[in-house]
């Protein structure tokens, strides 16, 4: 394939800066189009805004060259002694050299690229560029010599080569570079190093808590609208609540609430998910904005067409789910008469299924043992509940939709909330939710979402649900609606279930493999990213979480 710059889109000069800093960073930003603006990025933008507002000799130019194959905005162009000199402004400190301050390699490449753009545009030779480091109030002179010109051309060629590949470059050898990288939560370099070296002690670069909140609109007839950069929720009686869009991660519409087209456009522009549930708690559909997923989906399709990879992931997932179910039964039945309640039989059945799952061959056989483990788990579920409950809150076996009793109505509603969160994470990571490795595609539910849900059913819903039931938080009359044999949550019950679930998502949990703590909300995203790494050349950490 030709790499002639005239047949290729021009590259951002900032992309060359990323390339010189870390090829993995370049690939994620420019090829997979993942960009995250963290506090440092916003601070840099403010600096440039302040410089733009200054009066005097400051001139900013947006330039593009098909010959060079690059485009960019020059921070500042000044004339000194009759010569044009491009400037680049940086918030941080300069590097230290043997002869005093010097420019960092990525900054040098960036300002030299700008110099070549100015040279072509102005039609006059540029012999020098400068980088101003504001943290230590230092200006470094950078010669635009033959070596600098060669380095720019070489970087453009390397960028073209990487852009044509579906394989990500490896993480940087210098792990110190990752500490200041805004894309560390996506790249997960420390987790990758841990997967390669179990003795590695990872620094937690993945955010501990989610930055944005989930808004549930449960009142029938409520309306979600837009006012500037704010979402407004108006109840039928006219009362309004306002939520700045920068603080919202997703909005969930339950039943017959409405959302305006303008509000949907704002959510899409700000990558805020919008999801719809029926009044009975069934997930209908959602709008989830995510980065361009072409390369990630190509890798996913290729990997999940490999029976060996599929079975390896399926076995690890089934083992993790069964371990979680067993751990919960053991923990929640401490101090109980396990034999009288039947929990001992369920525990033994789960232990047998878990032991066999480690040796079976064939995914259909594995599915059979995983299903048997699930039956054992729910056979022990009644023994986890207190004896003095209202008879209508007894659990007499698992059934799905339509729910035939109150406990199953609660289980189904909580699992629907979990489905939405997992779907949101999967799409945000850039995976195809319809292409999974364990569940068969036999319903409207996406197989990959059902796969990842298996890791979280017990810790995110079963555990807080059992605790809330045993604390007598549920009113068998007021929190449920029954019509014939079908039972679903009332408006009051739905709000109560949402509160239990959302509180649980904010609880923090120490990951047994990485060794750092994070909220369950963040854990869903982390496991989604670790799954993507399984076929991106960095396997080993997915589905290794275990309940203690």
* The pLDDT value given to residue 371: 93
Residue 487 pLDDT class (50, 70, 90 cuts): very high
Lowest mean pLDDT among 1-15, 223-237, 277-291: 1-15
* The pLDDT value given to residue 102: 94
Average pLDDT, the chain: 89
Q: How large is the average pLDDT for residues 196-201? A: 86
List the CATH code of the domain at 294-534.
1.20.120.920
Q: What is the share, in percent, of the chain residues with pLDDT greater than 70?
A: 93
- The structure tokens listed for 143 are 């010669």
Higher pLDDT: 209 or 509? It is 509
CATH 3.90.320.10 segments of the chain: 5-171
* The pLDDT value given to residue 291: 55
Residue 152 pLDDT class (50, 70, 90 cuts): very high
Residue 292 pLDDT class (50, 70, 90 cuts): low
- The structure tokens listed for 425 are 């994470």
Cβ contacts of 287 within 8 Å, gap of 6 or more: 264, 267, 268, 273, 274, 275
Lowest mean pLDDT among 70-84, 199-213, 388-402, 504-518: 199-213
* The pLDDT value given to residue 390: 93
User: Per-residue pLDDT tens for 201-247?
Assistant: 888 888 887 778 899 999 989 999 999 999 999 999 999 999 999 89
The secondary structure of 162-173, three-state, reads HHCCCCCCCCCC
Fold of 213-271: Ribosomal Protein L15; Chain: K; domain 2 (3.100.10)
CATH 3.100.10.20 segments of the chain: 213-271
Of 387, 376, 389, the residue nearest 328 (C-alpha): 376
12, 236, 252 from 167: Cα distances, Å: 21, 52, 36
Q: What are phi and psi of 503, to 5 degrees?
A: -65, -40
| CATH class of the region 5-171 | alpha beta
428 pLDDT higher than 90: no
What is the distance between the alpha carbons of residues 419 and 71, in angstroms, rounded to a whole number? 43
CATH 1.20.120.920 segments of the chain: 294-534
Q: How large is the average pLDDT for residues 254-275? A: 92
Q: How large is the average pLDDT for residues 131-149? A: 94
* The pLDDT value given to residue 425: 92
* Contact of 259 with 252, CB cutoff 8 Å: no
Annotate 92-103 with b (16+ C-beta within 10 A) or e (fewer): eebeeeeeebbb
What is the distance between the alpha carbons of residues 71 and 295, in angstroms, rounded to a whole number? 24
């Amino acid at each position: 394939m030709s790499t002639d710059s005239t047949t290729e889109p021009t590259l951002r000069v900032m992309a060359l800066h990323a390339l010189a800093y870390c090829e993995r960073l370049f690939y994620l930003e420019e090829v997979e189009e993942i960009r995250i603006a963290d506090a440092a990025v916003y601070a840099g933008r403010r600096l440039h805004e302040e410089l733009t507002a200054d009066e005097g000799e400051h001139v900013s130019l947006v330039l593009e060259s098909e010959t060079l194959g690059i485009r960019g905005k020059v921070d500042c162009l000044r004339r000194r002694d009759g010569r044009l000199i491009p400037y680049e402004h940086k918030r941080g400190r300069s590097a230290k050299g043997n002869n005093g301050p010097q420019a960092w390699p990525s900054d040098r490449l960036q300002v030299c690229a700008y110099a070549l753009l100015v040279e072509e545009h102005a039609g006059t030779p540029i012999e020098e560029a400068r980088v101003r480091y504001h943290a230590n109030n230092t200006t470094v002179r950078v010669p635009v010599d033959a070596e600098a010109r060669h380095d720019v051309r070489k970087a453009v060629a390397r960028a073209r080569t990487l852009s044509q590949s579906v394989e990500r470059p490896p993480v940087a050898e210098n792990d110190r570079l990752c500490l200041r990288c805004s894309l560390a939560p996506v790249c997960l370099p420390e987790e990758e190093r841990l997967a390669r070296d179990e003795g590695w002690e990872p620094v937690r670069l993945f955010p501990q808590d989610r930055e944005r909140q989930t808004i549930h609109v449960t009142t029938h007839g409520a309306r979600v609208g837009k006012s500037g950069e704010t979402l407004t929720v108006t109840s039928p009686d006219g009362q309004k609540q306002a939520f700045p869009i920068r603080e919202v991660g997703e909005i969930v519409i339950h039943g017959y609430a409405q959302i305006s087209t303008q509000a949907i456009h704002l959510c899409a522009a700000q990558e805020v998910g919008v999801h719809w549930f029926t009044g009975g708690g069934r997930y209908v559909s959602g709008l989830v904005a995510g980065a361009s997923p072409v390369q990630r989906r190509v890798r996913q399709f290729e990997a999940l067409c490999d029976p060996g990879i599929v079975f390896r992931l399926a076995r690890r997932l089934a083992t993790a789910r069964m371990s979680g179910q067993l751990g919960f039964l053991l923990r929640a039945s401490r101090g109980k008469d396990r034999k009288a309640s039947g929990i001992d039989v369920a525990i033994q059945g789960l232990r047998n299924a878990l032991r066999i799952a480690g040796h079976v061959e064939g995914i259909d056989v594995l599915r059979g043992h995983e299903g048997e483990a699930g039956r054992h788990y729910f056979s022990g579920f009644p023994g986890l509940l207190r004896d003095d409950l209202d008879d209508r809150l007894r659990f007499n076996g698992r059934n799905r939709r339509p729910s035939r009793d109150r406990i199953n109505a609660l289980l189904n509603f909580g699992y629907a909330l979990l489905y939405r969160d997992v779907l949101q994470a999967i799409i945000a990571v850039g995976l195809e939710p319809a292409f999974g490795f364990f569940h068969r595609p036999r319903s409207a539910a996406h197989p990959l979402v059902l796969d990842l849900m298996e890791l979280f059913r017990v810790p995110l819903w079963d555990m807080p649900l059992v605790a809330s039931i045993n604390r007598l938080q549920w009113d068998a009359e007021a929190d449920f609606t029954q019509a014939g044999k079908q039972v679903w949550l009332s408006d009051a019950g739905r709000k109560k279930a949402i509160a239990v679930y959302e509180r649980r998502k904010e609880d923090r949990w120490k990951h047994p493999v990485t060794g750092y703590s994070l909220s369950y909300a963040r854990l869903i995203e982390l496991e989604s990213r670790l799954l993507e790494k399984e076929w991106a050349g960095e396997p080993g950490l997915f589905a290794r979480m275990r309940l203690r």
